[in-house]
Amino acid sequence: MPGLVEFPATYTAYAFLVPGGKLQKITVPWKFPKAGEIVVKVLACGVCGTDDICPTQVMPVPLPRVPGHEIVGDVVAVSCQETMWKVGQRVGAGYHGGHCYTCVRCRAGDYMTCQNQCIIGANWDGGYAEYVTLRSEAVVKVPEDMDPAEAAPLLCAGISTFNALRNMSISPPEYVAIQGIGGLGHLAVQFASAMGFRTIALSSDGSKEELARTLGADEFIDSSKVDQAQALQEFGGMKVIMSTAPNANVTESLIDGLAVNGTLLVLAVEPEPMKISPLSLLVKRLSIRGWPAGSPKDAEDCLAFVQAKKLKCLVERFPLHKAHEAYAHRETARFRAVIIP
């Protein structure tokens, strides 16, 4: 008979304790999962810009809170009622941490807009830790032959761009422009190119042109040299412009780069309001859209697409004891900071 699995009495995590405070090392008592939960040993947790909702309280977050919603790890404990997940499986989780099943949106089968949605790292402790408890319905199957550190950001940064783009009313070989070549943008360029779209990368940093073209961009437009919206119109205008970097002024200026019936797809979390002329929307029937990341099935589709197309998430790795350093690099890492054991 196999020996009994031994669990620690406590484990280490990093949490925000007070509004405006810094990440602090804490000790968390071990708890076995309840029905509908599993416990995962964290192998990697990506650092997302939205992790700052804990200290900034942009949205109300109960503190203390362990942040982190780009999680990959191995299942180490399940409840006796668990029917989907087993000990030893490689799994993950993203921003969506679970749903209520009973609200109007859940009854419509649209769990990503659940009115009582659980958000990992916000109203549920996240992955800046040795272990994390996840709700079963929010768990994603992760291929064991994927590097956990490269797979983790795909569960938020990746799915946010992949799933949004595949749900737009656009078909190859139409044009897609990607604003920002960072954590989301470097993945968005790869997805757009691999899906067959003619892809234009937009940046204010001309040094990123070579990288953008390596990732699959057909064209590169440097805003420090030309007016990007005007330059996009020289290609006939874009059916989709995907904004992946938080800069309200830049994003609002791109509306004039759209083609008739074009969509400005806003994925970056930007606290500042945008100013868009109603006339700009009316004349060309333009749309401005957001898109919530995606369901666990969407995440599994994203992982499968990355593997099939041999795409790569570029990461910088930080050990757990340097979680505060990883968090500090959330906007400057090339291109996604990831915490590993």
Same structural domain for residues 118 and 103?
yes
Residue 1 covered by a domain = no
Global pTM? 0.94
Output the CA–CA distances (angstroms, integers) from residue 158 to 29, 48, 62, 308, in the order listed: 32, 11, 27, 15
Same structural domain for residues 85 and 110?
yes
Same structural domain for residues 45 and 89?
yes
pLDDT at 4: 56
Strands 131-135 and 140-141: unpaired
pLDDT at 3: 47
Amino acid sitting at position 91: V
Residue span of the structural domain in which 252 resides? 168-289
Same structural domain for residues 150 and 198?
no
pLDDT at 1: 35
pLDDT in tens, 278-337: 988 999 999 999 999 999 999 999 999 999 999 999 999 999 999 999 999 988 888 899
Query: How many CB atoms lie under 10 A from the CB of residue 225?
Result: 10
Q: Using omega within 30 degrees of 0 as the cis cutoff, is the peptide bond preceding 335 cis?
A: yes
pLDDT at 143: 98
Which H helix or E strand runs over 109? none
pLDDT in tens, 168-181: 999 999 999 999 99
Residue 162 covered by a domain = no
DSSP calls for 26-56: EEEE-----TTEEEEEEEEEE--GGGGHHHH
pLDDT at 2: 44
- Residue-level length of the chain: 341
Our count of domains for the chain comes to 2
pLDDT at 6: 82
Residue 131: name the closest of 33, 64, 16 by CA.
33
**Three-state DSSP state, 263:** strand
- 93 - beta bridge partners? 71
Residue 279 covered by a domain = yes
Same structural domain for residues 93 and 110?
yes
Query: How many CB atoms lie under 10 A from the CB of residue 44?
Result: 25
Q: Which residues of the chain, if any, have pLDDT below 70?
A: 1-5
CB of 77 closer than 8 Å to CB of 7: yes
Same structural domain for residues 125 and 247?
no
CATH number of the domain that 200 lies in? 3.40.50.720
